Chain A
Amino acid sequence: MRKKISRRDFVRIGTQSVVGGIVLYTIPALFADFTTATANSSSYDWEKHYWGFVCDNEKCIGCGRCVVACKLENKVPWEPEYNRTWVERYVITEEGETFVDSPNAGRDGFKTEQPHPNVLKSFFVPKLCNQCDNPPCVTVCPVGATYMTEDGVILIDQEHCIGCGYCLQACPYGARFFLPDKRVVDKCNWCYHRISKGILPACVEACPVKARVFGDLWDPESPVAKTLAAKRVYVLKPDLGTEPKVYYIGFEKGVH
């Protein structure tokens, strides 16, 4: 008889503790959600915007002022290994070979030509976080430290990030990097502190040839919406299904 009771006890206590644990665990979290949600009373309505970005490879002159502006605006380490945005140079030769480089991530501009003769064509490609609609980095973060906001920007809670590096592996675009001093991950957030005040991202402000266009995809009058309506665009690595929100004008095979 004792055996039966102890087994029943085992099941009962076990079930109670698990259910109790989940309840106890959930309720404070729900309250916390509720309080933070009601406490939010900013004038910016993030549910009324959905941001988008266009890079025009045909206009970019490779001056790298965007990289400089980004580093200064966002206090990104000055070293070329840490970049929220960078510029790549493509050289395609008449033999059909493609050479790419990005000296110092384009921060200091491009001082010299690539040493390849018989250039068929050549151009610059600005890169930054694509703020994907289907972001692999958000999917893989084990603690949910990186997330997508209502207005379509992927942010990182650096107070919560454990620095496992899984999102670096998951990002197909190399947009993420480790902050050397904080030991957490950082990346471009389209200057969230600027766009949420109605001001353009620093790189867009800095571009002297309007190769970077930023705006609200939901506003048909925004520069981005107008550009997207007028031009044929492509996105990087569309086969991966990440649905980037950085669109490129000037498609070329081999630009990933």
Chain B
Amino acid sequence: MAGFVFPNEGVVEWDLLIVIYPYITGLVAGAFIVSSLYHVFGLTSLRPVARFSLLTALSFLIVTPMPLVIHLGRPERGLEMFLTPNLNSAMSAFGYIWFFYLLIVLGEVWLVFRPDIVRYAMATEGTRKTIYSILALGVDDISEESLAIDKKLIKILAFIGVPAAILLHGYVGFIFGAVKANPWWSTPLMPIIFLMSATVSGIALLLVLYVITTKIRHASLDHDCLRSLSLWLAGFLAINVVLEGLEVFSMLYESEESWEIISQLITQKIGLSYFGIQFISGALLPLLVLGGVEIIKPEAQQKTYATFLAATLVLIGVFAMRWNVVIGGQLMSKSLRGFISYTPPLFGLNGLLTASVLLTLPFLILTLITYLLPPWQPDIKQETVPRRRLR
């Protein structure tokens, strides 16, 4: 504790769990937008990851509410957010938006994978057959006619899904941006910044996962797809950096009463994670690497490594950004005269252990879903390349 803080401000109330909440939400939104780039905007180069990105979005979406509920003082009353919402609250909509979005993603996943599900249901025996039959809702209709309707519906859902994804995450930014009591949060740019960093983190996550899963499957990388991902990543990242810089620059330029404490915050309290991780290693360095790869055009192997490294740095950088917003904003006293400090505990409900479990959970779910519904094989209809063997 340094300077003066109000006596009630001794602890950071929104701790590590609230840092990973927007992080996970952002990954959902970003992954979904990648799948929509293919399904809605017809970016065929992203076809190899289109189905996988949908499953990624679903896996992370399932975990999204968990850090929030665990963090509540009274988790057993968490359902009240659904049942007795105060519609003026920026937070009360979360349950509804999340639920709406879950329905969209679930629907889209189901429709996209239905032909596979039906085929598995017919081809397998025993428990697996039961599972797939339940997933197919007991209907084995994969006639041309029904698939054509499915396709139309997929397009509609993906179309609704894009604004829903934007809403889901822009809204998370609004939760922070609408807190006028906190000068570090209170800016109308916040939803846009959250949205851009969400997209960035989602693309980076898919890039990383695509490279890793291809390695695990001993399959060959689709370099067109990788390049497309890295270009989109670089593009969104550039916009993101500009916006994040603009936010602080306008604070500096307007130089309001709160600027003095904010400048202390970003230079002293969160200097390393703000300039070091969020900006330099999380944004500028990846931009340089991604740009360099485009200009120098190294051989495939090195290109893959470089892109993979850049995407990993971006993922870390976006996490640092979430930390800097959520924790950084609470380190400053509302008296604008001092700081508290925060180190996450290792154990306990709000500790590092819980956080790492929550961050691992989506990957476990993703593994399970990709085991049940392998996303890698191309659609039967558009089969142009020979089917890859699954293990």
Q: Which stretch of A50-58, A135-143, A195-203, A217-225 is in the interface?
A: A135-143
Q: Residue B14 at the A interface, CB < 8 A?
A: yes
Q: How far is the CB of B146 from chain A (nearest CB, A)?
A: 9
Residues of A within 8 A of B330 (CB): 169
Q: How far is the CB of B108 from chain A (nearest CB, A)?
A: 17
CB pair B7 A83 closer than 8 Å: yes
CB pair B6 A174 closer than 8 Å: yes
Q: How far is the CA of A141 from the CA of B91 in the complex (A)?
A: 8
CB pair B336 A256 closer than 8 Å: yes
Q: How far is the CA of A140 from the CA of B9 in the complex (A)?
A: 19
Map CB proximity to A onto B91-131 as digits: 1 under 8 Å, 0 otherwise: 11010000000000000000000000000000000000000
Residues of B within 8 A of A173 (CB): 6, 334
Q: Residue A228 at the B interface, CB < 8 A?
A: no
Q: How far is the CA of A80 from the CA of B8 in the complex (A)?
A: 8
Q: Residue B255 at the A interface, CB < 8 A?
A: no
Q: Residue A160 at the B interface, CB < 8 A?
A: yes
Q: Residue B10 at the A interface, CB < 8 A?
A: yes
Q: How far is the CB of B378 from chain A (nearest CB, A)?
A: 28
Question: What band does the interface of chain B fall in when counting residues whose beta carbon is under 8 Å from A?
Answer: 35 or more
Query: Nearest B residue to A143 by beta-carbon distance?
Result: B80
Q: Residue A82 at the B interface, CB < 8 A?
A: yes
CB pair B80 A102 closer than 8 Å: no
CB pair B179 A165 closer than 8 Å: no
Q: Residue B85 at the A interface, CB < 8 A?
A: yes
Residues of A within 8 A of B8 (CB): 81-83, 86, 174-177
Q: How far is the CB of B147 from chain A (nearest CB, A)?
A: 13
CB pair A163 B73 closer than 8 Å: yes
CB pair B335 A100 closer than 8 Å: yes
CB pair B86 A143 closer than 8 Å: yes
Residues of A within 8 A of B335 (CB): 100, 174, 256
Residues of B within 8 A of A175 (CB): 8
Selected from B78, B88, B334, the residue in CB contact (under 8 A) with A139 is B88
Selected from B6, B92, B333, the residue in CB contact (under 8 A) with A143 is B92
Selected from A83, A100, A105, A177, the residue in CB contact (under 8 A) with B337 is A100
Question: What band does the interface of chain A fall in when counting residues whose beta carbon is under 8 Å from B?
Answer: 35 or more
CB pair B6 A178 closer than 8 Å: no
Query: Nearest A residue to B92 by beta-carbon distance?
Result: A142
Q: How far is the CA of A100 from the CA of B336 in the complex (A)?
A: 11
Selected from A138, A172, A183, the residue in CB contact (under 8 A) with B73 is A183
CB pair A142 B337 closer than 8 Å: no
Q: How far is the CA of A218 from the CA of B330 in the complex (A)?
A: 38
Q: How far is the CA of A170 from the CA of B330 in the complex (A)?
A: 11
Query: Nearest A residue to B329 by beta-carbon distance?
Result: A169
Q: Residue A3 at the B interface, CB < 8 A?
A: yes
Q: How far is the CB of B325 from chain A (nearest CB, A)?
A: 12
Q: How far is the CA of A54 from the CA of B222 in the complex (A)?
A: 71
Selected from B9, B14, B81, B92, the residue in CB contact (under 8 A) with A174 is B9
CB pair B84 A172 closer than 8 Å: no
Q: Residue B182 at the A interface, CB < 8 A?
A: yes
Q: How far is the CB of A248 from chain B (nearest CB, A)?
A: 15
Tell whether A140 pairs with B180 under 8 Å between CB atoms, given A164-B72, A165-B73, A178-B13. no
Tell whether A169 pairs with B7 under 8 Å between CB atoms, given A143-B92, A160-B84. no
Tell whether A162 pairs with B73 under 8 Å between CB atoms, given A142-B91, A170-B181, A177-B8. yes
With A162-B81, A183-B73 given, can you name 17 additional A-B contacts, CB distance below 8 Å? Answer: A80-B7, A83-B7, A101-B4, A102-B6, A136-B180, A138-B88, A139-B89, A140-B88, A141-B86, A142-B81, A143-B77, A144-B85, A144-B89, A164-B73, A172-B180, A177-B8, A256-B336
Which B residues have a C-beta under 8 Å from some C-beta of A?
4-11, 13-14, 68, 71-74, 77-78, 80-81, 84-86, 88-92, 94, 149, 175, 178-182, 330, 333-337
A sample of 12 cross-chain residue pairs with beta-carbon separation below 8 angstroms, ordered by A number, consists of A81-B7, A99-B4, A100-B4, A138-B88, A142-B92, A143-B80, A162-B73, A164-B91, A169-B181, A174-B333, A174-B335, A183-B74
Q: Which 7 pairs between the two chains have the least Cβ-Cβ distance?
A: A163-B73, A174-B6, A172-B181, A183-B73, A144-B86, A105-B7, A142-B92
